[in-house]
Every structure is written in C-alpha cells, then in structure tokens.
Structure 1
Amino acid sequence: MTTRRSLMNRLGHVLPATAEVTNGKLRIGGIAVSELVAEYGTPLHIYDEEALRAQMRSYVDGMRQRWPNSDVLFASKAAPLVAIYAIAAAEGMAIDIAGSGELELALAAGVDPERIYFHGNAKTDYELARAIEVGVHMIVVDSEDELDRLERLVPATHKQRLLLRVIPGVDAQTHASMNTGGSDSTFGLPPARVHELIEDLRDHDRLDVVGVHVHIGSQILNTGQFAEAVAALAPIGGLKVYDLGGGLGVAYHEHEIAPSVDEYLDALIAAARKHLPADAQLLIEPGRSTVARAGVTAYRVVVVKQTGKRFVAVDGGMADQLEVPLTGVRFDAILADRADEAPDTEVQLVGRQCESGDLLIDDARLPSPRVDDIVVMPVTGAYSYTMTNNYNGALRPAVVMVSNGKARLAARREEVADLLRLHEPAGGYDWRNPQLTASK
C-alpha cells in the first residue's frame, strides 16, 4: 500500500480517474493495461469511458447551474472519434467541428445537425455547401471572404444562423502555436469591424448574425485571461448569443497543476455577469480539458541502449504523438507492469520515427526499463489520435474504451491494406509498369 500511495500521490492527478495499481500492474477501468495490450497490440490509445463521461457532465451541469441559458460544445478536433462524438451527444454536449471530415464523423455518430457548430478559418465552398445542406445549427464566420461565399451559397429558401469571430487582443500565456487571441492572430476579425458587419447584415434575408465568438487559445492555465476575453466583447452588446470559446489547460506531468472545471467556470461566468447581457445565451467549447486526462497511450519498449545518454526506444513516436514536437508538451511515463517500482533511472524516451526530434520525454524517470516493458504515457486523450500520421509508413493505432472491467474497440488499428488502398492505380495508370499502361 505504501508504494501504491506513492505512485498515486505523484501521478494520480494526471492519470484517468479510475486508474489504480494492483500487484504492481496499472489498471484503468478495471482492466490491466498489459491485458489490453495483449489483446489489441501497441501502440494503443486507451480511454477511461467513465472518467470521460464524468468530465463532460461536469461541464454541462456546471454551466447550467451558473447560467441556465447556456450550452456546452465539445471541441471535437481534440479527439475526432465517432465513439466520442456519440458519448458527448449522449452527455448533453453540442458539437464543435472545424472541417467537413469532422462533420461527417459527427453525422456518422448520429449527432443531430441542429447540435453542430461549424468553425474554421478557411472553409471551402464545398464545406459550407455541405454544412448548409445537412442543416448545421450555426456557422462561425472567420472572415469577410467567408461571408461572400455564404452570400452565394445560402439558398433563398434558407436562413443560416451565424456567429462572427472576434479578435479580442488577448495574448494567451501558452505555446505560440496555441495562441489564437492576439491582435495579429490569423483567426477572426477586429471588434470594430465585427460591429460594422453586424449592422450591415441586420436585415439580411438569408444570413442571420445572432452573436459573436471569441477564443484565445489552448492549454491556458491562467483563468484571468478568459475573463479578459469576455471583457473584450462588452462593446458588442445587445446580441442573442456569445460563444466564449474554450482553451482550459490540463496538467500533463507530476509538477504541473491546472485549474479545475469549477474554477474555470467561476471566472468565466463572473466576467459574463459583469460584461454581457443577462438574457443572452452563453456557449463554451472545451476540447483538450474534456478528453485529455481520460486517455493514455501504451507502447512496447523495443530498444534500450547507452550512447552519450541512455535511450529507450518504443514502437510509436511522433507519428502518433505529434504534440510533443509541435507544442513542446511535457509528459510523464509509467511502466504498466512495474507501476509500484520507484523510478530510479533517467532516460531519453524516444520514438521509432527517423528524426532526432522524435523525443517523447526528455529525461524520463522510470524504473530501469527493459525490452518488452509496456510504457504508459498519461494525458494523451487530446490531439494524439487527431494528429496521427503515416510517417515512415507507421500505421494508426487502435483506440479502445474501457469501463467497469469491459473493453470496447472504438477505432480499429490501421492495416497495410488501408495504407495501400490510397495508392491503387487510378484511371487505369499503373505506376509499377507505366510503359505497359501507356500502350493500352
């Protein structure tokens, strides 16, 4: 019991809520990670379904208690999985999409189009037309060019609800790649111009601007910055809907602390009561903080070697964990079947992609790793599956949901046949024998 408390005291706040250690084995949702790996292979994304649903309910219930006329949107780019779309809808969340692919995944999950909000800074004609065709509830307009497209695409028989995205001028305290609210941001329009467009479109027969949207970035740990963004909307008054965005950060490692959902909502709603109309509908769109902690990724150790440093290489890497090189996020790691052993070795935990930048954890602390150990990285439920790619021919990992001792496959492991299918001869041209093809 002493070693278990030590582990959970160190990493309990970053592990899924149902995580526990029994006889040295890490268990999630009542199942040992090593058992899941034996059945589904590695790399493997594992979600604690019970914890995921509880986090979603904490957002939905928390908003309703503080501001009854409200809705919570799942920012689905964080984890665009049909299973998670369906779970989010079942737990009372609307869905925020940022592309036609996410739209189709949401529809495949059975999400009512009236519960879908379409974001994005460079929507194509096809994407907008498809959104209008299926009847999405709201389109969040990012530019005047997009308004011109909608002017052409919205039919005379339809009136499309719109939000206009506002640049709040708040430089979020986060990685540069996740800062979207500064005055020079590529996303949105200046407040003064948004106000003018609202007036210009007030009596439009097909474009119905019902409100505004603001979003300052992702992985933000200072709740005061969310309040600043709300204050930036105060001059644009008298609207029906204010979408206050998302961006709440999470704790990724042992020494990182993140605000709770309650702390975030308290700061946000206090600012809304001060700056926004009391009868307006408020929307928020959490993504990372909804799914990140509920997910972990399991890898198998392939190589342990000593050069200038001690390297431990696993069978995944930046092909399935791109946030590390992209945003510099710092993870911790656990050995799934030796979870009660004290970490006594510092290693470079690296992936299998042929890049020096494929460093999963710099100076990871582990109990002297061995080949075939199962390494678990917590807090990978957001953006890991989203950014999975085929670098070096890597195949996308499987995704499994666990709850109450049962596991369900949420996404199968990509196979070589899937990879090759995209390269099948098109139009009769065979790249393997171009002369033969050309002579036909």
Structure 2
Amino acid sequence: MSAAPQSRATPVPAAPDDANDLPASVWPEAAERDEHGVLVLGGIRATALRERFGTPLYVLDEDEVRRAARRTLAAFRSAAGAHGAQARVYYAGKAFLSTEVVRWVMEEGFAVDVCTGGELAVALAAGADPARLGFHGNNKSVRELERAVEVGIGSIVLDSWIELERLAAIVERRDARQAVLLRVSSGVHAETHDFLATAHEDQKFGFTLEDAPAAVARIRELDGLEFTGLHCHIGSQIFGTAGFRESAARVVELHAELLAGGDIPVLNLGGGFGIAYRPEDDPTPIEALATGIVDAVAQECAVRGIPVPHLAFEPGRAIVGKAGVTLYEVGTTKPVQVDDALTRLYVSVDGGMSDNARPALYGAQYSARIASRTSDADPVLARVVGKHCESGDIVVDAEHLPGDVAPGDLLAVPATGAYCFSLANTYNYVPRPPVVALRGGEARVIVRGETVDDLLARDAGLTATPTEGNDMPRMSQRSETT
C-alpha cells in the first residue's frame, strides 16, 4: 500500500490545558484513569490489556456499541413515528464487521447492511436472519447474487443496468421473487472529503435521477423482482442536516413521480452521520439528525400530497466509531526542527497505516493520550507515526503530548472503532492486530490477530511448513488466549 503525499499544512491545534484529560466527545463513556494515572477501558487497565494481548491492539467497548445502537434506533423510530411512519435502521457492516458485532446490533433491534459476499457470509455465520439483511455494492457478482437469493435475503439494492438484468436472470432461473431497491445519485455534494462523497455525478454509485424511472419500469415488468423503494446515500462523516435535507427533497420528488406506477413502501436515505475524532469536532446529535431528516421528508411529501413512506437508514460509524480505542507501544521519539519557530516531536509506535489507513487515505485527524501513566511535563507538539516505509505513515498528524513521552509508554488513540479494522492490511508484512471486546470488566478476543507464520502460510513458494523460528509474535504481543 503506497500512501499519497500527506499535507503538512494541517493547522496546529491549541495546546490542551491538561494533556492527560480524556475528552468525553471522543472517548467511550466508561473511559477513565485510575489512581495511578493508567487509562481504564471497560473496567480494565490498558496496561493489563497490553500485558495480556500485546500491541497494537484494537479495543472495542461492547456497552458503548449497544448504547449507541439503542440511542440511534430510538431517535429514528421517534422521528418517523411523529409522522405516522415506521423506521428500520440497518447497521452498515463495512464500518466494522465480525460475528460478535452482528449479534450485538441485531439484539438491539437493527437490521444489517452488507456489500460483498464475504460480509454476507459473516452475517450468516453470526446467525443473522437473512430477512433482516440488505445487500449493497456496485459490482455484485453472479455468484454473490445467487447466494443472496438462495438464502432469502431481505433486499438487494440495484446499482446498474447490468446488475438489474443479472439478478432478473437469476430469479427467473430459480423461480424466485426478490425484493429490490434502486440506488440513485441525488446530485447533492456532501460537505466531506471527496473520497467520502457518494452522491455527486462523477462517481461509481447508482442511477441518475433522470435514468431511474426507466430502470424502475423495467423492474416492475419482471415477475421475479419486487420494487420496494429508492435508496440514496450522500456520503460519510457528515455534520449537520443541510445535505440530507436537500437530497431528501430531490429523492421524494422522484418517489412521488414513481407512485403513478404502483406502491412504493420504502425510502432508504442511507447513513454517513459523523462522529467526533478530535475534541474540537462538533457532530450533530443523532436525535437532531433524525428529526431534521425525517421532518424534511415529511414536508416534501406534504407538499406533493403523498403519504410518508416507511424510512430506512444505515449508520455504521455512528454506532462503532467512538467505542473503539487502539493501543500502541512507543518505540522511538525524535525531535525535528520544522522551521525557526516550530519543533515537532515524532513519536513512533508499533503499528501505523497497516492498522489505520484513514490518515493516509483521507487525511483523517485523530487525537492521542499516554495510557500507561499521567505526566506533569509541559505538552509538546507531536506527530504519532507508524513503522512502515512511507513518509505518509501517520497515525495522529498533530497532537500535544507530554514532553517526557518515551519508549515503552503505552499510547491510546480513541475513536478508532470504524474503518480501522475494516481497512487493515499487512503492508511490510506487519500482521494485523486482534480485536478485543470489553464488557463487565472482562476482555475477550472477538477477532484473532495474525502472526508472521500466518502470513508465510499463504506464500506458495514455501516447500515446507514455516519453522518455529519464523513464528514471530505480532509486535509486542504476549498472548491472545482468553
């Protein structure tokens, strides 16, 4: 994986009053420090987690995930109920998917959105009811669609003419009937990174508003396909409701037009709700988002004299993002004189862009704290970097850490529950970390980490089983047993 050049123009954040504090907006609700200054997550000291599982380590607070799921579901159901409609909330599995997480969100009343055959397999392995699954993706293969129809998936979101005809052939051959939605691009440009905006015209997802009526007409003439509604997703990590409201207006206009051809029970407006990655971030509370989006749909429906359809939403990051914390061990530190007025301390950790690719991909910003102790040292401007052979291998671009941060310190980066594990890779043959879930003062591995032997096992050039000497631990890993 080669990183794009990382901008060095990131504004320098103001030094915090206390470089040991844990801002509530970015840390799990149960995060705290004990009497020795050690970070405690889910009732367990971070140093104990390092001793037991090693570093790098993804830590996921199960109670935080469940709390966010309940709050989100209640917000959308309340907002829809105020207009006589129902709301279904799908968990967007691409944010973080494992069998355990599937079980958590489904127990909290969610459906689950998958977008590949692999994600579908994980959901099914978790025991998910296929009727509570939705299948996304811009290039679903024949094999993936065959499997989805075979298991009785709840809905498939069609993304292109080819996919429409591909699915039509499958259901005809199987004498099956499949509920489908049509993904449309509303043309609304979300205020987010270009790579996260998904509803502008020049990108790969969905049908244009102009082409959608013909596609819906084709679906309706096929006995094996049941058109249940439109789907629109405008992007990710969005603050505020303006983009959602404008998109809703355009999609409701199309929805009203299509009603002439028959009932349309569902309107799916996607997800993309932002979270705080740094203390200065100010995301819109989920209750305000839900009310604003649903009110906008209701207003547009009222103008056209049509009933409010049942609504569906697909949050992912908003459910797992804040629940995740990544633990690293500091390996080296190095002061670098940037210019006459600025010195930056480079803090190298035992992970990097292999466990968090988002800073390299999007210029994503994170914060960090020493987790193994507190410090009275004056804070200094630091950049937390990884161990990979890329100058863009940055974990935290700009943060103030205590000036005495040193090798052996345990460093914690909050708000890493979404897209870090999902995008993890083995660049430079660095094994991927395990994921440990915390609940009730207990920790358990929910995704096993890799070792170098795991990576060598895939190398077809080896003529024998890797030797014991090659079974190197994953960084400073101690044990992954429960």
Pick closer, same or farther for the CA change 1:343–1:215 going to 2, 3 Å. farther
Measured after TM superposition, the shift of residue 67 of structure 1 is 1.7
Contact residue 19 and residue 379 of structure 2 kept, 8 A: no
Match of 2:236 in 1: 218
State yes or no: 1:228 paired with 2:246: yes
Amino acid at match of 1:415: T
Measured after TM superposition, the shift of residue 7 of structure 1 is 6.5
Contact residue 22 and residue 31 of structure 2 kept, 8 A: no
Q: What is the root-mean-square deviation in Å for CA atoms of aligned residues? A: 2.0
Match of 1:97 in 2: 114
How many residues are paired up?
426
Provide the TM-score with structure 1 as the length reference: 0.93
Amino acid at match of 1:60: L
State yes or no: 1:193 paired with 2:222: no
With 156-165 and 5-14 compared, the bigger mean Cα shift is at: 5-14
- Which residue of 332, 338, 351 maps to 1:303? 332
Aligned pairs for 1:67-78 within 5 A: 67-68=80-81, 69-78=86-95
Greater relative CO, 1 or 2 (CA 8 Å, sep 6+): 2
Aligned pairs for 1:52-63 within 5 A: 52-63=65-76
Pick closer, same or farther for the CA change 1:251–1:342 going to 2, 3 Å. farther
With 227-236 and 328-337 compared, the bigger mean Cα shift is at: 227-236
Contact residue 305 and residue 311 of structure 1 kept, 8 A: yes
With 59-68 and 106-115 compared, the bigger mean Cα shift is at: 59-68
With 398-407 and 305-314 compared, the bigger mean Cα shift is at: 305-314
Which structure 2 residue ranges, 5 or more long, are not aligned?
Answer: 1-15, 338-343, 466-482
Which structure 1 residue ranges, 5 or more long, are not aligned?
Answer: 433-440
Q: Deviations 1:343-378 (Å, cap 9, x if unpaired)?
A: 611122110011000011223211121101001000
Contact residue 170 and residue 228 of structure 1 kept, 8 A: yes
User: How many angstroms apart in 2 are the aligned matches of 1:39 and 1:431?
Assistant: 31
Match of 1:165 in 2: 183
Contact residue 20 and residue 369 of structure 2 kept, 8 A: no
Amino acid at match of 2:143: Y
Match of 2:54 in 1: 41
Match of 2:267 in 1: 242
Match of 1:354 in 2: 389
> Does the residue aligned with 2:156 lie in a helix, a strand or coil?
strand
Pick closer, same or farther for the CA change 1:241–1:217 going to 2, 3 Å. same
Q: Percent identity?
A: 36
Contact residue 113 and residue 135 of structure 2 kept, 8 A: yes
State yes or no: 1:14 paired with 2:49: no
Contact residue 253 and residue 331 of structure 1 kept, 8 A: yes
Q: Deviations 1:253-289 (Å, cap 9, x if unpaired)?
A: 0211111111110111111211245352110000111
> Does the residue aligned with 1:177 lie in a helix, a strand or coil?
helix
Contact residue 76 and residue 287 of structure 2 kept, 8 A: no
Contact residue 233 and residue 275 of structure 1 kept, 8 A: no
Measured after TM superposition, the shift of residue 184 of structure 1 is 2.1
Contact residue 167 and residue 185 of structure 1 kept, 8 A: no
State yes or no: 1:266 paired with 2:291: yes
Aligned pairs for 1:39-438 within 5 A: 39-68=52-81, 69-154=86-171, 155-235=173-253, 236-237=255-256, 238=259, 239-276=264-301, 277-308=306-337, 309-339=344-374, 341=376, 344-368=379-403, 369-424=405-460
Contact residue 190 and residue 238 of structure 2 kept, 8 A: yes
Contact residue 25 and residue 340 of structure 1 kept, 8 A: no
Amino acid at match of 1:66: A
Pick closer, same or farther for the CA change 1:159–1:341 going to 2, 3 Å. farther
User: How many angstroms apart in 2 are the aligned matches of 1:346 and 1:32?
Assistant: 26
Pick closer, same or farther for the CA change 1:345–1:7 going to 2, 3 Å. closer
User: How many angstroms apart in 2 are the aligned matches of 1:182 and 1:350?
Assistant: 33
